[in-house]
Structure 1
Amino acid sequence: MKILVVDDHALVREGLCQVLKGLDEQVQVLEAPHCARAFELAALHPDLDLVLLDYHLPDMNGLDALTIFGTKHPELPIVMLSGSVNLRIMRQVMAKGAAGFVTKAGISNDLLSALRRVLAGDVYLPPELLTASGTPSAQDFSTENNAPLLTPRQEEVLYLLLDGRSNKDISQTLHLSEETTKNHVTAVLRCFGVQTRIQAVIAAGYHGYTKSAPLA
């Protein structure tokens, strides 16, 4: 398992490195003090499993960084870290395609629980957002109110996306070339009016799609 931690405070990065061993003793943690270095490391390590991204960084805010990660690495789950509980920022971060939002005030076990869910292909919504009025709706993740019209093949691809499967896994399961799978994933994102796989998963949930639907 390989995780990238992006935070401008060395002590925070060191602390997270210790906490992340709770996921796997052999976890490899890469560290970046700013977004420029984070983008370099993400390009050098295409096998990254997860990114922990601080919202407040010296060279870029979390929303802008999410946009770049989503464009360059749409399959890479990003969990945003923040020292404050701001519902507006939480909603913006989740709508931008983050796989989760965790406050630094939480305890280690809460962080590990959130990361396990994300690594399993789920999306983690913080309790503050779940209990607040104005919780994210389908309109936050899609430009259309009606359910998208997917072809049968696109629906098969979508269900595998909901299971957290990579393009390679989808290709093997459906006996498709990786290029064909990539085209289907792109079509699914376009149907939901979103830019990243995480946004598609969230939007699909609001349109009634659930995990583990049987393939034809």
Structure 2
Amino acid sequence: MDAQYTIVIADDHPLFRNALFQSVHLAISGANLLEADSLDSLLTLLDKEPDVDLLLLDLKMPGANGMSGLIQLRNQYPDLPIVVISASEEPSVIRQVRSHGAFGFIPKSSDMRALIGALNQVLDGEPVFPEGLGEDSDDVSDLTDRIAALTPQQYKVLCMLSDGLLNKQIAYELNVSEATIKAHMTAIFRKLGVKNRTQAVILLQQLDLAP
């Protein structure tokens, strides 16, 4: 495959990122490969690079919060093909990845040949998921829709809330007034269909991967 593709590898483990880098080069000659090691650095990169053809995303990296990172990326970049590459290979995890709008799932345990085959399949426009996953849960789809309804700033506030920060701490981190954060909270609770901070955090934790 000789076409010039721009592919982003988002993973916080340098050794795996390097191995994936080598695999992609073998699969796609002449690919323009970019790297990110956190959700923040990934979002910064995607803002600067509007013509990314494929994102290879690890679910567990700083700022990603399991599935919610994938949902936020789908929300902000609806046309960007995202393939999750993860060590969490349980069918329930893969079903969630699929229901949250990923274009594919490649287990980190895949050998080089399987990885190269999957990458070529994705770039040919064919989704790639392990067989026999069954149907996605309606509850998962509903939760996805609610999280996806948040603006990027509201999502960031929710993640900080999940980290245990107080309103005034969140306001300081985002360089806005405490009144602005309270307004965000009201909107977040309404969109998520919850009544308080605790319920909002529990909802977000439902999207986290099991350890």
TM score, norm. by length of structure 1:
0.59
Could you tell me which amino acid in structure 2 is paired with residue 136 of structure 1?
E
CA shift in 2, pair 1:11/1:142, >3 Å: closer
- 1:38-117 to structure 2, matched below 5 A, reads 38-117=42-121
Q: Is structure 2 residue 21 aligned with structure 1 residue 22?
A: no
CA contact (8 A) 1:6 1:52 kept: yes
- 1:167-186 to structure 2, matched below 5 A, reads none
Q: Is structure 2 residue 135 aligned with structure 1 residue 136?
A: yes
Q: Deviations over 1:87-116 (max 9, x none)?
A: 111111100000111111111111121122
Which has the greater radius of gyration?
A: 2
Q: Is structure 2 residue 10 aligned with structure 1 residue 10?
A: no
**How much has 1:23 moved relative to structure 2?**
2.4
**How much has 1:136 moved relative to structure 2?**
2.4
Q: Deviations over 1:114-148 (max 9, x none)?
A: 1222212221111xxx235xx125968978xxxxx
**What runs of 5+ residues in structure 1 fail to find an aligned partner?**
144-216
CA contact (8 A) 1:95 1:140 kept: no
CA shift in 2, pair 1:88/1:55, >3 Å: same
**What runs of 5+ residues in structure 2 fail to find an aligned partner?**
143-211
Question: Counterparts of 2:87 and 2:50 in 1: how far apart (Å)?
Answer: 28
Could you tell me which amino acid in structure 2 is paired with residue 47 of structure 1?
D
The count of corresponding residues between Structure 1 and Structure 2 is: 138
Could you tell me which amino acid in structure 2 is paired with residue 100 of structure 1?
G
- Identical counterparts, % of pairs: 34
Question: Counterparts of 1:25 and 1:15 in 2: how far apart (Å)?
Answer: 16
TM score, norm. by length of structure 2:
0.60
CA shift in 2, pair 1:22/1:38, >3 Å: same
**How much has 1:50 moved relative to structure 2?**
0.4
Could you tell me which amino acid in structure 1 is paired with residue 80 of structure 2?
L
CA contact (8 A) 2:104 2:122 kept: yes
CA shift in 2, pair 1:5/1:121, >3 Å: same
CA contact (8 A) 1:62 1:80 kept: no
Could you tell me which amino acid in structure 2 is paired with residue 26 of structure 1?
G
Question: Counterparts of 1:137 and 1:90 in 2: how far apart (Å)?
Answer: 10
Residue 12 of structure 1: SS of its match in structure 2? helix
Aligned-pair RMSD on alpha carbons?
Answer: 2.0
Question: Counterparts of 1:141 and 1:49 in 2: how far apart (Å)?
Answer: 27
